[in-house]
Structure 1
Amino acid sequence: MGDTGIGAVLIRLRAGRGWTQQRVADEYNALEGRSAKTGKEIGRYEREVRIPIPYTRKYLARVFGVDVAVLDRAVAVSKSPVGEEHSAVGVLQEGPLGPAAPLRSGVGAVSADAVMSADFARFIAQRNADEFVVEQLEADVARLARAYVSHPLLELYVEIKRLRDGAFELLRGRQHPRQTADLYVATSRLCGLSAHVCLDMGDYDSAATHARTARACAEEVGHEGMLAWVRAVESLIAYWTGRYEQAARLAQAGRHHRAHGSIGARLASLEARALAIVGDRAGAVAALVDAERSREAMPGHDDVPGIFAFPTAKQFAYAGTTNLAVGGREHVQQAIVSADTAIRLYRSAEDDDQSVGDLFAAHVDLARGHLLLGDLDGTEAMLGFVLESPPERMSASIVRRLTALGRELSGPQYGGAAQATYLRERLQHTAVLAASPAAHSPELPT
C-alpha cells in the first residue's frame, strides 16, 4: 500500500472484511465512544472528498487492525503534488503560438507573470477553515443534536448560538470548495437547532426566520436531507400557529425531496397529524400508513442523531396524537396503545436518547385518551409524570396541551366532579409555572 492514496487504502481494508461503509462507521463509533460518524462520512474519505485528520486516522487504524503509519503514508500520497513534469516548461518549448524562441526575448515579462501565479497560489492557501475545523464543527453539531432531546434547553442554547455565529463567520472567509459545502450543511443544522429552540419557547416568528436561513444554506449546496428536514420544521411552525392545512402542505412538499434516513417517516407523520386536525380522517389514516411504509423501507441511516433523526418511539408518539384527533372509540384506543408504546420505547433507550418532550406529549395523550373513555382515574395516573416534573423542562407545545386538557376537564359531562376540578387546577398551575418568564429567563438567540 506504500504508493496508494488514502481512499484506495480504506476501500481495500473495508472490502477485505466484507463490511459496508456504515459498518465501518459503527465500529469507529464503538471505539471512539462519543462520535456519531456515519457511513456517508466514510464514503467521503474513500472518495477523498475529505482527508481524515490524524485523530480520525488513529481510530480508523484501530478499526481495521493496522498500524496508523499505514494510513499516514496513504494520506501523504494523496496530498503529494502530481503532474509537475507537465509544467510550464513544456508549454514554453512548443505552445499554441509556435516555438518558444520569441518568448525568450521577454524573460522579464514571463517572470513577472510567474510572480502573479505565485501570488494567486498563496491566496488559495489562505484558509480560515481546514479539515480539522470542519470535522470538529460537525462533531459538535452531532453532540448538540443528540443532547437536545434529553437535556434542559437552557444548557444548550448558548453553545448552539456560539457555534452558529462562528459558522457564519467561517463562511464569510475562504475555504476549499468541499469544506465550504460541509460548512453550509453544518450551518444549516445549527440554524435548524436555533429554530427548534425558538419553536420550543413559543417564539414562532424567530423560529421561522432561523428555518428560512437553514433552508437557504441547504439550498446553496443542494443538500436534500436538510431541505426535507427544514420543511418538517416549517410544518411544525405552521401547526403550532394554527395553520393546519399549510402544515400538511409543507410536510407533503418535504416528501418530494430525495432524502435518506427517517425523514420520510417524520414528514408523513406530520402530515397525518395536521390532516387529522382539519377533519380529513381518511387522509390522516393514509398518511399514518405512509409513515409506517417509509419506516420499513427506510433508505440508509440518519446522518446526525437526536433532533435530526426520527426514532420509532417518536413515530408512535405522533401516531397517538393523530389517532386522538381522528376520534372515535377505536382510534382513541389505538392512540392509547401508540402512546404507551412510545413511552416504553423511550424508557428502554439510552438516557441521551430519551426525549423529554415526547415523553411529556405521550403522557398527556394517554391522559386524554383515558379521559375520552370516561376514566378519570386513568387520566390522573397518566398525568402524574408530567405534573411532578420541573416546569422549566416543558416546551410551549406541552403548555398548550396541558391548557387544552384543563379546558376539557371543565366540560359539563364531568358535572363538576371533585377529581376533575382537582386535576384541572393542577394542570392550570403547572401551565402557568411552565409559561412564566422565570422558567426560561435568559434571552434566546434570534
Structure 2
Amino acid sequence: MGDTGIGALLLLLRTERGWTQQRVADEYNALEGRAAKTGKEIGRYEREARVPVPYTRKYLAQVFGVDVVALDRAVALSKSLRGEEDSSSGSSPERPAWPAVPSHSGKGAISVDAVMSADFARFIAQRNADEFVVEQLEADVARLARVYVSHPLMELYIEIKRLRDGVFELLRGRQHPRQTADLYVAASRLCGLSAHVCLDLGDYDSAATHARTARACAEAAGHEGMLAWVRAVESLIAYWTGRYDQAARLAQAGRHHRARGSIGARLASLEARALAIAGDQAGAVAALADAERSREAMPGHDEVPGIFAFPAAKQFAYAGTSHLAVGGREHVRQAIASADTAVRLYRSAEDDDQSVGDLFAAHVDLARGHLLLGDLDGTEAMLGFVLESPPERMSASIVRRLTALGRELGEPQYGGAAQAAHLRERLQHTAVLAASPAAHPPELPT
C-alpha cells in the first residue's frame, strides 16, 4: 500500500470487503456517533475530489481495520503527485521567501513576467478555509439539519445565523475552487435553514429573502439537489401565503432538476397538496401517484438528514392533508389512514427524527377527518396530543390549522353540541397562546 494514493487505497479497501460507499459512510457514522458522512462523500475521497483530513483518517482507519499511518502515507503520496504540500499533519513550515529578481537582469521583461506568475502563486496560497474547515462546517450543518425537526426552534436559530454569517465571511476571502464550491453549498443550506426558521415563525417575506439567497448560492455551486430543495421551500412559502397555483408551479419547476434522494417525492407531494387546495382534484391525485413512484424509484440517499430529507412519514402526512382537501368520504378515509401511518412511523423513529411539526399536523388532520365523518369523540381524542403540548413548540402553520378547525367546529351542523363548543374554546385558547409574542423571541434571524 506504500505506493498507492489515498483515493485508490480507499477504493481498494472498500472493494476488498464488498461494501458500497454508503456502507462505508454508515460504518464511519456509527464509530463517530453522528450522521456526518454520506456515501457521496466517500466517493469524493475515492476520486480525490477531496482529501480526508487527519481527524477523518483516524475513523476511516478504524472502519477498515488498518493502521492510520498507511492512510497518512497515501495522502502524502497523492499530494506530492499533485504538487501540493502535505500540511495536514498539523505542522505549518514557513514558506521560503520568494527570490528577488535583479532589475539589471539581461532577461528583463521575461524576468518581470516571472515575478507576476510568482505573485499569482502567492495569491493562490493565501486561503482562509482548508479541507478541515469545510469538513467541520458540513458536519455542523448536518447536525443542525437533523435536530431542526425535533428540537425547539429557539435553541437552534442563533447557531444557524452564526454559522451562516461565518460562511459568508469565508466566501468573501480566498479558497481553492473546490472549497469555494463546498462553501457555497454550505451557505445555501444555512440560508435554507434560515428560510425555514422564518417560515415556521410566519415571517414569509424574510423567508422568501433567505430562499432567494439559498438559490443564488446553489446556482453558484451548480448543486442540483439544493436547487430542487429551494424550490420546495419557495413552494411552501407560496402555499402558506395563499398562492396555491404558484405553489404548484414552483414544485413542478423543482422536479425538473436532476437531483438524488427523496426530493422528487417531496416536490410531488407539495404539488399534490397545492393542487388539491386550488380545486384541481385530478391533478392532485396524479401528483400523489407521482410522489409514490418517486419514493419507489428514489435515486440514491439524501446527502443531509433532517430538514433536507423527506422521510416516508412526512410523505404520508402530506398525503393526508391532500386527501382531506380533495374531499369526499373515500378521500377522507384515505386521509385518516395516511395521517395515522405518518404518526405511527414518526413514533417508531429515533428521537432526533421525530418531527414535532409533522406530528402536530398529522394529528390535526386526523381530528378533521373524524370531524368530517361526524365523529366528535374521535376528533377530541386526536386533538389531545396537540392541545396538551407546549404552545411554543407550534409553528405558524399549526396555529393556522388549529384556527381553521376551530371555525369548522362553529359551523351550524355542530352548533348545538356542547362537545363541539368546548373543543372550539380549547382550540382558540391554544392558538392564541401559540401566536403570542411570549412564545417566540422578539427578533427574527435576518
TM-score w.r.t. the length of structure 2 is 0.94
Aligned partner of 2:18 in structure 1 is 18
Native 8 Å contact 2:415 2:421 kept in 1: no
Aligned partner of 2:180 in structure 1 is 180
Q: CA–CA distance in 2 between the matches of 1:424 and 1:337?
A: 24
Write the letter of the residue equivalent to 1:17. Answer: R
The verdict on how the C-alpha distance between 1:278 and 1:83 changes in structure 2, with shifts beyond 3 A counting, is closer
CA RMSD of aligned residues (A): 1.4
Aligned partner of 2:242 in structure 1 is 242
Aligned partner of 2:274 in structure 1 is 274
Write the letter of the residue equivalent to 2:75. Answer: V
Segment of structure 1 superposing worse, 376-385 or 112-121: 112-121
1:110-149 per-position Cα deviation (integer Å, ceiling 9, x unaligned):
5544443333222111101000111111000000000100
Native 8 Å contact 2:5 2:78 kept in 1: yes
Structure 1 residues 90-239: aligned runs within 5 Å = 106-107=106-107, 111-239=111-239
Native 8 Å contact 1:367 1:382 kept in 2: yes
Aligned partner of 2:90 in structure 1 is none
Q: How far 1:414 moved relative to its partner?
A: 1.0
Q: How far 1:107 moved relative to its partner?
A: 4.6
Q: CA–CA distance in 2 between the matches of 1:114 and 1:283?
A: 65
Seq. identity, %: 90
Structure 1 residues 405-444: aligned runs within 5 Å = 405-444=405-444
Q: CA–CA distance in 2 between the matches of 1:30 and 1:56?
A: 13
The verdict on how the C-alpha distance between 1:187 and 1:417 changes in structure 2, with shifts beyond 3 A counting, is same
The verdict on how the C-alpha distance between 1:74 and 1:419 changes in structure 2, with shifts beyond 3 A counting, is same
SS at match of 1:80: helix
The verdict on how the C-alpha distance between 1:83 and 1:412 changes in structure 2, with shifts beyond 3 A counting, is closer
Is 1:68 matched up with 2:94? Answer: no
Native 8 Å contact 1:236 1:247 kept in 2: yes
Native 8 Å contact 1:410 1:416 kept in 2: no
Deviating runs (4+, > 4 A) in structure 1?
Answer: 81-84, 107-113
Q: CA–CA distance in 2 between the matches of 1:75 and 1:209?
A: 42
Aligned partner of 1:314 in structure 2 is 314
Aligned partner of 2:92 in structure 1 is none
Native 8 Å contact 1:36 1:305 kept in 2: no
Q: CA–CA distance in 1 between the matches of 2:421 and 2:83?
A: 82
Native 8 Å contact 2:145 2:306 kept in 1: yes
Q: CA–CA distance in 2 between the matches of 1:421 and 1:351?
A: 35
Q: How far 1:203 moved relative to its partner?
A: 0.3
1:142-182 per-position Cα deviation (integer Å, ceiling 9, x unaligned):
00000100000000000000000001011000000000000
Write the letter of the residue equivalent to 1:187. Answer: A
Aligned partner of 1:254 in structure 2 is 254
Native 8 Å contact 1:284 1:322 kept in 2: yes
1:277-321 per-position Cα deviation (integer Å, ceiling 9, x unaligned):
011111111110110000000000000000000000000000000
Is 1:369 matched up with 2:366? Answer: no
Q: CA–CA distance in 2 between the matches of 1:115 and 1:401?
A: 67
Q: How far 1:34 moved relative to its partner?
A: 1.2
Q: CA–CA distance in 2 between the matches of 1:167 and 1:405?
A: 42
Write the letter of the residue equivalent to 1:46. Answer: E
Write the letter of the residue equivalent to 1:402. Answer: L
Q: CA–CA distance in 1 between the matches of 2:218 and 2:121?
A: 30
The verdict on how the C-alpha distance between 1:68 and 1:365 changes in structure 2, with shifts beyond 3 A counting, is same
Aligned partner of 1:8 in structure 2 is 8
1:319-356 per-position Cα deviation (integer Å, ceiling 9, x unaligned):
00000001111110110010000000000000000000
Q: CA–CA distance in 1 between the matches of 2:105 and 2:155?
A: 70
1:92-121 per-position Cα deviation (integer Å, ceiling 9, x unaligned):
xxxxxxxxxxxx972565554444333322
SS at match of 2:227: helix
Aligned partner of 1:342 in structure 2 is 342
Is 1:325 matched up with 2:311? Answer: no
1:210-258 per-position Cα deviation (integer Å, ceiling 9, x unaligned):
0000000001121100000000000000000000000000000000000
Native 8 Å contact 2:261 2:298 kept in 1: yes
The verdict on how the C-alpha distance between 1:82 and 1:377 changes in structure 2, with shifts beyond 3 A counting, is closer
Write the letter of the residue equivalent to 2:319. Answer: A
TM-score w.r.t. the length of structure 1 is 0.94
